[in-house]
Amino acid sequence: MVVADVALGGAARQAGVQVGDVVDTFDGHPVDSLAAITSAIYLHPAGRPVVLGLLRGSQRLTLQVDAPEAKAPADQLVDLANPEKGLVAKLGVVGVDVSDRLAGIIPPLLVGSGVVVAARTLDATSVETGLQAGDVIHAVNRSQVDSVEALRRALRPIGPGEPVVLQVERQGKLAFVWFDME
């Protein structure tokens, strides 16, 4: 992942990250896409420095980035997500049931039930879905889902190579995300 910009006064700039650096590890885990880095950020414990592995030309660097920023609403989702209970391995996400405890963390929804994507996992065996943290999954192949368990049940009979269409809500708009199951 090539760094396109580094915020003035930001923690990454202060740690020495430069435009053009290639981030290849995050906290010791390989990252090769924006989705992998986004997932790693959401799973990173708040208040602890991030260790970035970088390539700068032919030079390999390891930088420690202090991240003192307050938690954003999406980060609060991760706090509510239980990785053991919320893991949806087939999609490579950790989900949280839509409930009253999400009030103030996510905006009001067009559809009042579903599963909020709290984080993407770094699992290379899951399918690339295009899902993002904060997306709300409302249906799988036209079958409504109202919990993480219902989402897993809806995905269970779908085999490799079969099409999947998810109805998702992203930033206040409904959309469909489609892919073939791996």
Q: pLDDT tens-digit profile of 52-91?
A: 999 999 999 999 998 655 444 455 555 566 677 888 989 9
Tokens matching residue 23? 């981030």
Domain 11-65 and domain 73-180 have a common topology:
yes
Q: Which tokens hold the place of 75?
A: 């980060």
Place of tokens 């409504």: 144
Where do the domains of the chain lie?
Answer: 11-65, 73-180
Give the CATH H-level superfamily of domain 73-180: PDZ domain (2.30.42.10)
What whole-number distance in Å separates Cα of residue 46 and Cα of residue 99? 24
Distance, CA of 100 to CA of 105 (rounded, Å): 10
Lowest mean pLDDT segment, chosen from 11-20, 27-36, 108-117, 162-171 = 27-36
Higher pLDDT, 111 or 120: 111
Q: Above 60 in pLDDT, residue 179?
A: yes
What is the residue whose two structure tokens read 């709290």? Answer: 118
Q: What is the pLDDT of residue 129?
A: 84
Task: Say whether pLDDT at 38 is over 70.
Answer: no
Strands 50-56 and 87-88: unpaired
Mean pLDDT for 86-114 is 83
Question: Of 19-23, 71-75, 118-122, which range is least confident?
Answer: 71-75
Is the model more confident about 46 or about 88? 88
Give the residue from 146, 45, 26, 137 showing the smallest Cα distance to 92.
Answer: 137
Q: What pLDDT, on a 0 to 100 scale, did the predictor assign at position 70?
A: 44
Say which CATH superfamily domain 11-65 falls into. Answer: PDZ domain (2.30.42.10)
Contact predicate 29/124, CB 8 Å: no
At 47, is the pLDDT very low, low, confident or very high (cuts 50, 70, 90)? Answer: confident
